[in-house]
Structure 1
């Protein structure tokens, strides 16, 4: 409707990101729009030959305090907040010589980038924008009359309307931009508050907020009747959020969730020591292995549960090479995620046009002390992510027999994997590869029995005469409440056990381990994963 159109006669531009700035401002000027600007933005426009009115000329007040005070003035906020065609507002503007501002172009000081590069505390504080969010919120509140633009990617849409509607914008566009602007300031403030809480050691602040930027809208969530979208937090870690998708179909909600689980797991393995591969299905590993090459690691991981691996997610801790790629493409796989890939490997994967290949440029730090959150009815839970590393623990031998050197290696490997298996979790490992995994059961003994069954099935699939669990090490993500789970592992052929300990029946479990001839160590660290 014509009444919903608002002509733009004056624009206030103050941006830290100057991408496309000059071309946008030149197009505004060509429409007869007066340009008002501040500091570096004003300088950039002036040097481009554009006529620019300095904000201090508009306010009659100079910039002060190293630029901290320049737009926090009634002549700026009055120009943004005044309701056009409201007689009282018009009278106030006339009485105080306040000129309307019809278009606000502002993006915020780069606080997120500043903390991401580990800048000193004082530098981070100086990069907290005050005037920008205040103007953005004022303009957004008055969306009926004012158009607000917070990032260069919206310049084209603004110009299309201005040039097609005689210098005016539509109410529909103004509302859309106002919603985006409010979300931007909310995300900005959430980042600041969470950073500040961490800096002062506040783990349970009275108010907690999270915000992110849209990566892509998804077709649906876990199920077709659920709407879904994928967002990145301002301080993201290397992974799905930072990945470049080389090829394949768009990622689904479940793809993203499973791929993240796979990459977090494989990041536990130092690529400078061994190649590692994790195969994930429904956020649980169905095979993990480390070896001298990715190909060898993949084949060992696949051997653990070749049936479940069909249609799975494959994560690598090293650059994907042709030898590994040639093996991976032999079965149906949903996603491959790796730090990088060579050209020959990319070409091999390209033959499977629906197979998604994600390259992240790096691995997430497993030691990173970030926050995780999940919803509950009417609220959400927040915790620090499980950043405990088995190599930094001091497991204590509690049985008469200590593990052999080979058992120690497999115990640590199994416990590293168990951290990423849904509770109750039991992991059998041998020679740097999982041979049986029991996940997500209501009782630990059932997880132990399922893992043993998987080891037997894997042996049959490989044409081997006895269970892969024979001579294996077994990890439990939490203590054994009774000896039965441990004895099930012994019956399956395990010779060594790693678990947190801490049960009131620890002595009974230790005695059962001794009687079965097992070596057992306690870590004192639990890895529940619900």
Structure 2
């Protein structure tokens, strides 16, 4: 039985890396500490060019690299050196009998499979970038972490040298265990990437086994609540958003900040910046104001005027470069996070005085039409579905009432539909003139959502000193069909003049008749946007 508390000397290291970042300095540091270096192919050539003494693995195995590099480390003299228990007499005897020397440190990072897929490479190229020998060696070394240290990330190079210095040329067991966990996680993530890519490549939407993986981006102070531990992981995709953003100022993002910022940016991306500036304000993952405007400042003000109370402490997302005038206006109330494709220097200077406000820039907007997967954990498993990338245009709509919507109503109906897609069900959204004027979210009854949204509009009218609620003369979107006429009639009583909804209820005829009787224009999308 190996002693889990034993220090392990490092006399011989095998280095075989695809990512050459920092490997020369690391190898030199090992050599200066008396460690013999083994290596393969391009890594060995690079180290020799740097003046280091290196033994080729082919010299150890007695076999050249062959089959385009597919076979080079799959050999007992490599895996025996990694897997042998140094305190097991039978293992030591086998090593001596077969001329196997121990390998005390393995440094491997894998063929760039994920990067190859991200570049859009063809099937055969992706297959050739699946590493075989690397994962096999990593798993062998990680299994034998009682004696062997394994390194898969260049960021750990300096830590290895520091551990060797601290323990007189040996590695400590606690550090080896941590390295082993990282190693197993890396091979698991690699296999997850391969299997997920292959499921897509062969057109299997529901493979028998599904794996997801991520890389730690940030350890969070806590989760949704202070008693919950949490961390933020990135999935390696290049979709612009909070995971890829640059944070210019402010304290670290919290769990809730990240969740809400993602919701805000995905929503504002629905509105093409080439058409008009747009702003979305999110509170607790629901929009409390969304608007287009003549300028970004105008869009922000119109979004803010939907629900000023809820906007306090919210997340602001913009679809264009943030300017100083908009930044000044945002600073008039407490805002947690502002996210935009970019921000000019004047805007950054404005925010610099607000040390608790986080400013994030992403360089681009996410594509709302792009495919992707979304998953959610449930007890005993998880649900996987396509990202909701459904969009409708005027051409997709079916007018089902005697009155068709006017051109202005049609524009607002399409705007409202985009917003409703991002509101928790049951979702009701009132829009007028390219701005939300009432949002009802997350209610068990669609009628309640309709009433809440109208009431919020009335409250804002009072706060703004308006003669009547802003919902008067608006249009309304419902994320799913009205099962009865009551919800639609509640919207009509509030002042809505046109309706957009999926249709498909058993009582569609009753709902259409009620709309006709109320003088409403109504269109069906044929598409639902539940968001739970």
**How does 1:213-228 map onto structure 2 within 5 Å?**
213-228=215-230
**TM-score, normalised via structure 2 length:** 0.98
Instruction: Judge conservation of contact 1:194–1:208 (CA < 8 Å) in 2.
Output: yes
Q: For the residues of structure 1 that align with 2:201 and 2:275, how far apart are their CA atoms? A: 34
Q: For the residues of structure 2 that align with 1:433 and 1:363, how far apart are their CA atoms? A: 20
**TM-score, normalised via structure 1 length:** 0.99
For residue 176 of structure 1, report the CA deviation from its aligned partner.
0.3
Instruction: Judge conservation of contact 2:438–2:454 (CA < 8 Å) in 1.
Output: yes
* 1:37-85 Cα shifts (integer Å, max 9, x gaps): 1111111101001011011111111111111111111111111111112
* 1:422-442 Cα shifts (integer Å, max 9, x gaps): 000000001111000000000
Q: In structure 2, what is the equivalent of residue 463 of structure 1?
A: 465
* 1:402-422 Cα shifts (integer Å, max 9, x gaps): 111111100000000000000
Q: In structure 2, what is the equivalent of residue 433 of structure 1?
A: 435
For residue 163 of structure 1, report the CA deviation from its aligned partner.
2.0
Q: In structure 1, what is the equivalent of residue 414 of structure 2?
A: 412
For the structure 1 residues 392 and 246, does the alpha-carbon distance in structure 2 shift closer, same or farther, using more than 3 Å as the test? farther
Instruction: Judge conservation of contact 2:5–2:173 (CA < 8 Å) in 1.
Output: no
Instruction: Judge conservation of contact 1:277–1:317 (CA < 8 Å) in 2.
Output: yes
Q: For the residues of structure 2 that align with 1:164 and 1:214, how far apart are their CA atoms? A: 27
For 2:384, what is the secondary structure of its paired residue?
strand
Aligned length: 530
Once the two structures are overlaid, the 10-residue window that deviates more, 258-267 or 233-242, is 233-242
For 1:225, what is the secondary structure of its paired residue?
coil
Q: In structure 2, what is the equivalent of residue 18 of structure 1?
A: 20
Q: For the residues of structure 1 that align with 2:240 and 2:153, how far apart are their CA atoms? A: 24
For 2:87, what is the secondary structure of its paired residue?
coil
**How does 1:353-392 map onto structure 2 within 5 Å?**
353-391=355-393
Q: In structure 1, what is the equivalent of residue 242 of structure 2?
A: 240
For residue 236 of structure 1, report the CA deviation from its aligned partner.
4.3
For 1:240, what is the secondary structure of its paired residue?
coil
Structure 2: gaps of 5 or more residues: none
Q: For the residues of structure 2 that align with 1:326 and 1:93, how far apart are their CA atoms? A: 72
Q: In structure 2, what is the equivalent of residue 98 of structure 1?
A: 100
For the structure 1 residues 241 and 335, does the alpha-carbon distance in structure 2 shift closer, same or farther, using more than 3 Å as the test? same
For residue 2 of structure 1, report the CA deviation from its aligned partner.
11
For residue 351 of structure 1, report the CA deviation from its aligned partner.
0.9
* 1:87-108 Cα shifts (integer Å, max 9, x gaps): 1111111111111110000011
**How does 1:392-411 map onto structure 2 within 5 Å?**
394-411=396-413
Instruction: Judge conservation of contact 1:42–1:54 (CA < 8 Å) in 2.
Output: yes
Q: In structure 1, what is the equivalent of residue 512 of structure 2?
A: 510
Q: For the residues of structure 2 that align with 1:68 and 1:118, how far apart are their CA atoms? A: 23
**How does 1:234-383 map onto structure 2 within 5 Å?**
234-383=236-385
Instruction: Judge conservation of contact 1:191–1:234 (CA < 8 Å) in 2.
Output: no
For 2:14, what is the secondary structure of its paired residue?
strand
Q: For the residues of structure 2 that align with 1:440 and 1:238, how far apart are their CA atoms? A: 27
Q: RMSD value over aligned CA atoms?
A: 1.1
For residue 361 of structure 1, report the CA deviation from its aligned partner.
1.4
Q: For the residues of structure 2 that align with 1:464 and 1:85, how far apart are their CA atoms? A: 84
For residue 393 of structure 1, report the CA deviation from its aligned partner.
6.4
For 1:480, what is the secondary structure of its paired residue?
coil
For 2:493, what is the secondary structure of its paired residue?
helix
Q: For the residues of structure 1 that align with 2:368 and 2:448, how far apart are their CA atoms? A: 29
Instruction: Judge conservation of contact 1:274–1:291 (CA < 8 Å) in 2.
Output: yes
For residue 322 of structure 1, report the CA deviation from its aligned partner.
0.8
For residue 119 of structure 1, report the CA deviation from its aligned partner.
1.7
Q: Does 1:132 align with 2:134?
A: yes
Q: For the residues of structure 2 that align with 1:432 and 1:307, how far apart are their CA atoms? A: 20
Q: For the residues of structure 1 that align with 2:238 and 2:229, how far apart are their CA atoms? A: 23
Q: For the residues of structure 2 that align with 1:335 and 1:346, how far apart are their CA atoms? A: 13
Q: For the residues of structure 2 that align with 1:193 and 1:236, how far apart are their CA atoms? A: 19
For residue 471 of structure 1, report the CA deviation from its aligned partner.
1.0
**How does 1:472-483 map onto structure 2 within 5 Å?**
472-483=474-485
Q: Which of 4, 7, 19 is residue 6 of structure 2 equivalent to? A: 4
* 1:300-358 Cα shifts (integer Å, max 9, x gaps): 00000000000000011111111111110110000001111000000101111000111
